[in-house]
Homo-oligomer: A and B are copies of this chain.
Amino acid sequence: MDTLRYYERIGLIDAVERTATGQRRFTDDHLEWLGTLKCLRDTGMPVEQMCRFAHLVREGDHTIDDRIALLEAHRVAVDERMADLAAKRDYISGKIAYYRDVR
Contact = CB atoms under 8 A, between A and B. Distances in A.
Contacts of A89: 43, 75, 78-79, 82
Interface in A83-101: 84-86, 88-89, 91-93, 95-96, 99-100
A2 interface: no
* Number of this chain's copies in the complex: 2
Interface residues of A, number: 32
Given A85-B43, A85-B85, A92 B78 contact: yes
A85 B92 contact: no
Given A96-B71, A96-B75, A99-B67, A85 B88 contact: no
A70 to B, nearest CB: 10
